[in-house]
Amino acid sequence: MNCQKANSLEIIILFFVLFYPGIHSIAINGAAQTEAVIHFHELNELARTLTYTIPAIALLWYIISDKNGFSALLQEKIKKTDLIPFAAGLLGLALIGTGLSLVISHLAENRELIPPPQVQAPSSVFGWTVMVISCIGTGYLEESYFRYYLLSGSEKIFPKTVIMIIFSIFLFSICHLYEGPWGVANAVMAGTLLSILFIRFRSLHGIAWAHGFYNIFVYAVGSFTA
């Protein structure tokens, strides 16, 4: 497995190459909790998907494949068993997100804490199409790096697995700083769940679908609360 060959330097370099644009945006624009709403811009999201998400996925799998085309990705064929981590992951992520939202609402009301920004849903068929593609693409990009790339090869080595899961969750949380402290808390819990599911089922597609469809669920909820 090529992930076993990945060293610490490669891991860190890839993290900044793949996810630095988002981290840099945070530094330029400030923390998300200062905004009441995270707006959805159709053309911006489409451009981001075409010029960032898809090339980033291609680069990652090219490296995972030891520059042998996309051989590693081609070996990860979709299986019926992928539906198990997909269903478990989507349900778990929805419960985590909903539960955290209820806690946040209670604390914001009783302790005058600033709630997380509201996610604005698309307003057209084109916007929803772009959003769905973006969410699935993001699911595959983040799960390919934070779970497949970081955790493959360590599943059967107990101490290493725990360390890599913690490291994976830490990096995953950094990518959600733009959502404020509540978003980081959600990322910690979601990252833990997705890591456990990957270790248990060794399913890239299942957890990528769960991640992507949970993001779609967040936008769908936003359409009802707008």
pLDDT tens per residue across span 119-151: 788 989 999 999 999 999 999 999 999 999 999
pLDDT tens per residue across span 112-126: 666 666 778 898 999
pLDDT of 3 above 60: no
Query: Which pLDDT belongs to residue 113?
Result: 65
Average pLDDT over residues 50-77: 94
Q: How far is CA 4 from the centre of its chain?
A: 22
| pTM: predicted TM-score of the whole model, two decimal places | 0.88
pLDDT of 39 above 80: no
pLDDT tens per residue across span 65-105: 988 999 999 999 999 999 999 999 999 999 999 999 888 77
Split at pLDDT 50, 70, 90, the class of 23 is low
Cα separations in angstroms, 136 against 49, 52, 207 = 10, 14, 11
